[in-house]
Amino acid sequence: MSFQNPVFIPGPTNIPEALRKACDMPTIDHRSPLFGQILHPARRGVRQVLKSDTAKVFIFPSTGTGGWETALTNCLSAGDKVLAARNGMFSHRWIDMCQRHGLDVQIVETPWGDGLPADRYEEILTADTSHQIKVVLATHNETATGVKSDIAAVRKALDAAGHPALLFVDGVSSIGSMDFRFDDWSVDVAVAGSQKGFMLPAGLAIVGFSAKAMEATKTAALPRTFFDVHDMAKGYDNNAYPYTPAVGLLNGLNEACTMLLAEGLENVFARHTRIATGVRAAVDAWGLNLCAASPDVYSDTVSAICTPDGFNATDIVTHAAETYGVAFGVGLGEVAGKVFRIGHLGSLTDVMTLSGIATAEMCMVDLGLDIKLGSGVAAAQEFYRLNPAARLQNAA
Provide mean pLDDT across the span 365-383. 98
Provide mean pLDDT across the span 24-48. 96
394 pLDDT band (50/70/90 cuts)?
A: very low
Q: What are the tens digits of pLDDT across the range 261-275? A: 999 999 999 999 999
181 assigned ligand-binding residue: no
Q: What are the tens digits of pLDDT across the range 131-160? A: 999 999 999 999 999 999 999 999 999 999
Q: What is the pLDDT of residue 396?
A: 45
Cα–Cα distance measured from residue 37 to residue 16, given in angstroms and rounded to the nearest whole number:
22
Q: Is the pLDDT of residue 391 over 50?
A: no
Sign, CA torsion 78/84/90/92: positive
| Cβ contacts of 19 within 8 Å, gap of 6 or more | 199, 200, 252, 255, 256, 259
Q: What is the pLDDT of residue 2?
A: 72
- Rounded percentage of the chain residues whose pLDDT exceeds 70: 98
Q: Where are the alpha helices (DSSP H) in 238-345?
A: 247-263, 265-286, 314-319
Provide mean pLDDT across the span 234-245. 96
- CA distances to 92, 133, 253, 268, 300 from 348, in Å: 29, 40, 18, 11, 12
Residue range(s) of every CATH 3.90.1150.10 domain in the chain: 264-394
- Rounded percentage of the chain residues whose pLDDT exceeds 90: 97
Cα–Cα distance measured from residue 121 to residue 119, given in angstroms and rounded to the nearest whole number:
5
Q: What is the pLDDT of residue 23?
A: 98
Query: Domain 264-394 carries which CATH code?
Result: 3.90.1150.10
Q: Is the pLDDT of residue 1 over 90?
A: no
Beta bridge partners of 302: 343
Residue range(s) of every CATH 3.40.640.10 domain in the chain: 17-262
Q: What are the tens digits of pLDDT across the range 167-196? A: 999 999 999 999 999 999 999 999 999 999
Reading phi first (left if > 0) and then psi (alpha if -120 to 50, else beta), residue 52 is in beta
Q: What is the pLDDT of residue 392?
A: 45
Q: What is the pLDDT of residue 390?
A: 61
Lowest-pLDDT choice from 169-178, 277-286, 382-391: 382-391
Strands (E), 87-227: 104-109, 133-139, 141-142, 147-148, 166-170, 189-193, 204-209
pTM score, two decimals?
A: 0.96
- CA distances to 2, 12, 37, 59 from 21, in Å: 21, 17, 17, 20
Provide mean pLDDT across the span 302-325. 98
Q: For domain 17-262, which CATH number applies: 3.20.20.70, 3.30.465.10, 3.40.640.10, 3.40.50.720?
A: 3.40.640.10
